[in-house]
C-alpha cells in the first residue's frame, strides 16, 4: 500500500452496542471500495475484522480490529471496537487513535447502554461524532422511533442529514436532506441518483426542521438569525452543518444497511469530504524532561507515536499497532519506548487489514501502522526518539473488579502460565494479574465474566496452558474471643539426642488493628534468655497459619509467664514447637472468632435505580452510610459491605441497572463474622485440608 499524506488520511472509530453492526459495516465499506469482491458474514465467521477464534465462537467482537478503506484517493483507517462493557479497555485506547467516531445504532434496538457509553467517551475526548442508523432493511426497523430516541438521549445536536427510502424489506435507498437528492441501490453497493420521492415530504419536513435547529444551536451567529427568522438560508444550513460537525457540536445522522451495503458509499463520501483529517486535530500534549510540550501533526517533526493495541499471535509473534502524531516511523530504524525506557528495533512496517498484513514503506504523522516483534512495547506506551523522550498522558481505565483465582491444570505448566499472563497484561491494561501470598493464589482481575473467559481461552490457545479457575479467596482473619492460658510441652527423651521445651503463656484479644504484642514475664531464668525468641517465633508462625481456618490470627497479646528447660536437650526448635503448642491450647480455651474484610463501596446510578441498589445492599449485609444526589439525575450511595458479598458486584450492578451504574470499592476494616457464616468457612477449610492429606 502506498504512503498517504496526512491530509488524505482519516482515522475513524466505529463504536456502539454489541450487535449494532459495526463489524458488518466495516465489511461493507471494504466491499463498496472494491477491496473485497464479496461480503463475508459474522454468522459464517468470514468477515475481515472478526477473525479471532474467540469472536467467531461468540459472534461478537472481543478485541479491536482495523482495516484501511481506500476511497477517492483517501485512506480511511477504520477501527472496529468491541461493543460490550467487558472490553472497554480496547475501546478507550482506540479513541486516542481516532480523529472522529461513528456511533453505530441498530434501527431495530435503538439506543442501548454501550451507545451511550461510546457517545460519552467521544464527548470526553472532544472528538466529532456521527451516528449511523443501521439495519433499516430488517423487520421491525423503525427510523423515526430511533431518531426520536437519539434526540431524547443526546439532545438537539442530533441532526438528521438523511432519511431512509422504503422500510424493512422494501428499504432501497437514502434521501439527502441537505441537498434534496435521492440515491437508490438497484444493483451493488454504489448509488444511482434518482428522483426525490414526493411522498417523503411528510417525514422530510419535520426532519429538516430538526436539522435546521441543530445547525442553529451549534453556532452562536446562526442561532440569532434562526430565532429572528424562524429558519436559515440554504447556504448557511449546508455550511453550518459541516462546521458544527467538525467542531463536535452537531452529530449528523446517516442511514443505511450494512448487510445490504445500502448507504455505505455515501458514508464513505461523507468521511472523505467532512471528517477531519489528522491535520485538523489540535496538537497533542506530551510530557518530557523539559516539562509539557505540544506536538502538531508534522511529518518533519520529532517522532511521537502512541501504541494503542498490542496482540500476541502464536505464528507471527507480537504485533504492535500505533498511531503517529508527529514525525515518521521508518522501517529498519531504531526508536525509543519512553514509557518503558527501552530502545526498540523497528523492522518491516505494515498495515493490518483484519488479520492480514500489508507492507507499507513508512508511516508518517497522522497515519496508523503496525510492526511485529517489538521486545518491550506495551499497550499505552509512547514511542519517540531517544534524544527527545516524551510521553502522552496515560489513559484512565475503569478498575477491573472481578477476580478469579487460577491455576494450571497440568503440574509443571507454571512457567508457561506466568509468560502467558505477562503477555496478556501487556496487551490489555484493563486486565491485571496479582499473586496473593496470603492465600497462595494467582489472581486475575477483569471487567466481567466475558473478559476473564476470553483471557482464559487465550491462555490455552496462544500459550498452550489450560487453567482451572474459581472465585478468588477472601482474606479472612482469626482472633481470640477472650483471655486464656496455654501450656506447651515438647519433650522427647528416648535414645540419642533428646528434645525438651516447656512453656506457659497467657493470651488476650486486642482492639482491631493492634496486631500482635508479645511480652516476656519470665522470672529467674525458667527459660534461658536465648530461647525466649524461639517461643515467640513458634507463636508467630502458628498465628500466620491460623488455628481453625487457614487464615492468619491477628490482634492478640501473648504473655510468656513460665517454662522449663534442660541443659542438654533444649534447643531453638524444641522451644518453637512448645510455643506453637501453647498457643493452640490457649486459643482453644479462649475461643477463636473469624473476622471478615469490610469494603467501603460507593455506587453511582441514575436515580430510578436507587431503590433497587439499596435493597440489594441491605440483602448483602451492607450498612448504608449516606445517599446524595450528584447532579445529572444521578445518585451516589455510600455503604460498608462485607467483601465476600460483593466479590461479583461488577456483574450484580450491571444486571440491576443494565450497565448504567458505576462503583468504587476500597478496603475499610475487619469485623467479626456472623457465627453461621464463619462455620461455613471453617468447614470448607477442613474439607480442603482433608482432601489435600488424602492426595
Ligand atoms: P457488531 O457487534 O456491532 O460488530 O455487529 P455485527 O456486525 O457483528 O452484526 C450483528 C448481527 O447483525 C449479525 O448477525 C449481522 O449479520 C447483522 N447485521 C449487521 N448489520 C445488518 C444490517 O444492516 N441488516 C441486517 N438485516 N442485519 C445486519
Residue 600 has pLDDT above 80, yes or no: yes
* 238-247, 367-376, 384-393: least confident range: 238-247
Q: Is the CB of 84 under 6 A from ligand 1?
A: no
Which of 16, 20, 21 for mutating ligand 1's site (highest number of atoms within 8 Å of CB)? 21
Exposed, middle or buried by CB within 10 Å (0-12, 13-18, 19+), for 157?
buried
Q: Is the CB of 44 under 6 A from ligand 1?
A: no
Q: Is the CB of 442 under 6 A from ligand 1?
A: no
Residue 695 has pLDDT above 80, yes or no: no
Domain 402-473 and domain 594-676 have a common topology: yes
Q: Is the CB of 63 under 6 A from ligand 1?
A: no
Residue 625 C-alpha cell reads as 452510610
Residue 290 has pLDDT above 90, yes or no: no
- Residue 143 C-alpha to ligand 1 middle, in angstroms? 16
Q: Is the CB of 262 under 6 A from ligand 1?
A: no
Average pLDDT over residues 516-543: 95
Confidence of residue 690 (pLDDT cuts 50, 70, 90): confident
Average pLDDT over residues 595-601: 93
Q: Is the CB of 28 under 6 A from ligand 1?
A: no
pTM: 0.83
- Residue 49 C-alpha to ligand 1 middle, in angstroms? 13
CA distances (Å), origin 621, targets 163, 624, 640: 53, 10, 9
Instruction: Check residue 115 and give its pLDDT.
Output: 83
* 166-170, 526-530, 665-669: least confident range: 665-669
Q: Do the beta carbons of residue 175 and residue 254 sit within 8 Å?
A: no
Instruction: Check residue 534 and give its pLDDT.
Output: 97
For the chain, the C-alpha Rg in angstroms (whole number) is: 32
Average pLDDT, the chain: 92
| Residue-wise pLDDT tens digits, 245-273 | 988 999 999 999 999 999 999 999 999 99
Residue 314 has pLDDT above 70, yes or no: no
Residue 30 has pLDDT above 70, yes or no: yes
Instruction: Check residue 55 and give its pLDDT.
Output: 65
Domain boundaries, the chain: 6-194+250-280, 284-384, 402-473, 478-590, 594-676
Domain 284-384 has CATH 1.10.8.60: no
Between vectors from CA 188 to CA 186 and to CA 194, what angle results, nearest 5°?
35
Instruction: Check residue 56 and give its pLDDT.
Output: 63
* 404-408, 461-465, 617-621: least confident range: 461-465
- Residue 24 C-alpha to ligand 1 middle, in angstroms? 6
Q: Is the CB of 135 under 6 A from ligand 1?
A: yes
Q: Is the CB of 18 under 6 A from ligand 1?
A: yes
Instruction: Check residue 355 and give its pLDDT.
Output: 83
Q: Within 13 A of 655's CA, how many CA atoms are on the CB side?
A: 7
- The top-level CATH class assigned to 402-473 is alpha beta
Domain 594-676 has CATH 3.30.70.120: no
Ligand 1: which residue has its CA nearest to atom 6? 21
Residue 445 C-alpha cell reads as 482481575
Instruction: Check residue 42 and give its pLDDT.
Output: 84
Ligand 1: which residue has its CA nearest to atom 16? 42
Instruction: Check residue 59 and give its pLDDT.
Output: 64
- The ligand 1 atom at the shortest distance from the C-alpha of residue 24 is 7
Q: Is the CB of 328 under 6 A from ligand 1?
A: no
Q: Which helix (H) or strand (E) holds 301?
A: none
Q: Is the CB of 141 under 6 A from ligand 1?
A: no
Return the CATH number of the domain spanning residue range 6-194+250-280: 3.40.50.300
Ligand 1: which residue has its CA nearest to atom 2? 19
| Residue-wise pLDDT tens digits, 121-179 | 889 888 999 999 999 999 999 999 999 999 988 888 999 999 999 999 999 999 999 88
Ligand 1: which residue has its CA nearest to atom 24? 135
Average pLDDT over residues 380-394: 94
* Residues in Cβ contact with 7 at an 8 Å cutoff, skipping those fewer than 6 apart: 277, 279
Q: Is the CB of 26 under 6 A from ligand 1?
A: no
Residue 48 has pLDDT above 80, yes or no: yes
Residue 336 C-alpha cell reads as 525509543
Domain 478-590 has CATH 3.30.230.10: yes
Residue 379 has pLDDT above 90, yes or no: yes
Average pLDDT over residues 354-359: 90
Instruction: Check residue 598 and give its pLDDT.
Output: 94
Amino acid at each position: 500500500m502506498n504512503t498517504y499524506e496526512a491530509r488524505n488520511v482519516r482515522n475513524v472509530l466505529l463504536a456502539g452496542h454489541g450487535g449494532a453492526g459495526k463489524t458488518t459495516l466495516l465489511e461493507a465499506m471494504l466491499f463498496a471500495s472494491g477491496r473485497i469482491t464479496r461480503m463475508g458474514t459474522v454468522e459464517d465467521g468470514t468477515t475481515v475484522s472478526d477473525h479471532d477464534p474467540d469472536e467467531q465462537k461468540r459472534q461478537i467482537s472481543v478485541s479491536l480490529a482495523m482495516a484501511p478503506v481506500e476511497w477517492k484517493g483517501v485512506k480511511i483507517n477504520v477501527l472496529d471496537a468491541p461493543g460490550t462493557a467487558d472490553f472497554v479497555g480496547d475501546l478507550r485506547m482506540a479513541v486516542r487513535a481516532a480523529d472522529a467516531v461513528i456511533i453505530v445504532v441498530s434501527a431495530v434496538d435503538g439506543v442501548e447502554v454501550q451507545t451511550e457509553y461510546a457517545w460519552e467517551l467521544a464527548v470526553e475526548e472532544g472528538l466529532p461524532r456521527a451516528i449511523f442508523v443501521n439495519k433499516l432493511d430488517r423487520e421491525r426497523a423503525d427510523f423515526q422511533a430511533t431518531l426520536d430516541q437519539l434526540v431524547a438521549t443526546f439532545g438537539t445536536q442530533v441532526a438528521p442529514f438523511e432519511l431512509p427510502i422504503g422500510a424493512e424489506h422494501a428499504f432501497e435507498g437514502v434521501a439527502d436532506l441537505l441537498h434534496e437528492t435521492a440515491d437508490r441501490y438497484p444493483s451493488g453497493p454504489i448509488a444511482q441518483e434518482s428522483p426525490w420521492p414526493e411522498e417523503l415530504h411528510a417525514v422530510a419536513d419535520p426532519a429538516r426542521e430538526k436539522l435546521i435547529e441543530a445547525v442553529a444551536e451549534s453556532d452562536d451567529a446562526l442561532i440569532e438569525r434562526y430565532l429572528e427568522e424562524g429558519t436559515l438560508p440554504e447556504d448557511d444550513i449546508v455550511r453550518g452543518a459541516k462546521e458544527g460537525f467538525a467542531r463536535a457540536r452537531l452529530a449528523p445522522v446517516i442511514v443505511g444497511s450494512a448487510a445490504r451495503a445500502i448507504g455505505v458509499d455515501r458514508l464513505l463520501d461523507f468521511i472523505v469530504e467532512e471528517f477531519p483529517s489528522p491535520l485538523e486535530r489540535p496538537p497533542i500534549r506530551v510530557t518530557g524532561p523539559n516539562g509539557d510540550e505540544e506536538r502538531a501533526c508534522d511529518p518533519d517533526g520529532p517522532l511521537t507515536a502512541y501504541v494503542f493495541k498490542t496482540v500476541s499471535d502464536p505464528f507471527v509473534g507480537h504485533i504492535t499497532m500505533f498511531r503517529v502524531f508527529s514525525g515518521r516511523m521508518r522501517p529498519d530504524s531504531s526508536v525509543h519506548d519512553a514509557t518503558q525506557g527501552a530502545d526498540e528495533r523497528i523492522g518491516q512496517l505494515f498495515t493490518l487489514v483484519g488479520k492480514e498484513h500489508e507492507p507499507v514503506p513508512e508511516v508518517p504523522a497522522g497515519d496508523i501502522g503496525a510492526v511485529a516483534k517489538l521486545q518491550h512495547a506495551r499497550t499505552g506506551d509512547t514511542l519517540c526518539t531517544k534524544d527527545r523522550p516524551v510521553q502522552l498522558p496515560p489513559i484512565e481505565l475503569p478498575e477491573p473488579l472481578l477476580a478469579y483465582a487460577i491455576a494450571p491444570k497440568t503440574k509443571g505448566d507454571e512457567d508457561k502460565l506466568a509468560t502467558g499472563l505477562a503477555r496478556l497484561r501487556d496487551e490489555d491494561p484493563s486486565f491485571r494479574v496479582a499473586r496473593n501470598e496470603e492465600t497462595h493464589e494467582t489472581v486475575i482481575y477483569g471487567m466481567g465474566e466475558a473478559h476473564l473467559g476470553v483471557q482464559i481461552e487465550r491462555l490455552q490457545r496462544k500459550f498452550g496452558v489450560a487453567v482451572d479457575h474459581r472465585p478468588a479467596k477472601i482474606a479472612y482473619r482469626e482472633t481470640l474471643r477472650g483471655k486464656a492460658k496455654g501450656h506447651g510441652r515438647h519433650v522427647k527423651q528416648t535414645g540419642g539426642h533428646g528434645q525438651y521445651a516447656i512453656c506457659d503463656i497467657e493470651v488476650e484479644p486486642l482492639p482491631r488493628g493492634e496486631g500482635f504484642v508479645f511480652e516476656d514475664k519470665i522470672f529467674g531464668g525458667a527459660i534461658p534468655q536465648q530461647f525466649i525468641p524461639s517461643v515467640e517465633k513458634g507463636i508467630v508462625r502458628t498465628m500466620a497459619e491460623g488455628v481453625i481456618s487457614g487464615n492468619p490470627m491477628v490482634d492478640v497479646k501473648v504473655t510468656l509467664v513460665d517454662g522449663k528447660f534442660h541443659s542438654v536437650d533444649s534447643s531453638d526448635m524444641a522451644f518453637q514447637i512448645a510455643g506453637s503448642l501453647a498457643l493452640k491450647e490457649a486459643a482453644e480455651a479462649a475461643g477463636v472468632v473469624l473476622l471478615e474484610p469490610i469494603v467501603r463501596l460507593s455506587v453511582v446510578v441514575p436515580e430510578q435505580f436507587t431503590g433497587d441498589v439499596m435493597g440489594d445492599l441491605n440483602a448483602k449485609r451492607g450498612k448504608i452510610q449516606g445517599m446524595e444526589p450528584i447532579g445529572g439525575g444521578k445518585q451516589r450511595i455510600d455503604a460498608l459491605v462485607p467483601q465476600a458479598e460483593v466479590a461479583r458486584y461488577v456483574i450484580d450492578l450491571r444486571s440491576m441497572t443494565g450497565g448504567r451504574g458505576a462503583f468504587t470499592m476500597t478496603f475499610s476494616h475487619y469485623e467479626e463474622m456472623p457465627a453461621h457464616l464463619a462455620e461455613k468457612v471453617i468447614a470448607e477449610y477442613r474439607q480442603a485440608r482433608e482432601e489435600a492429606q488424602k492426595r
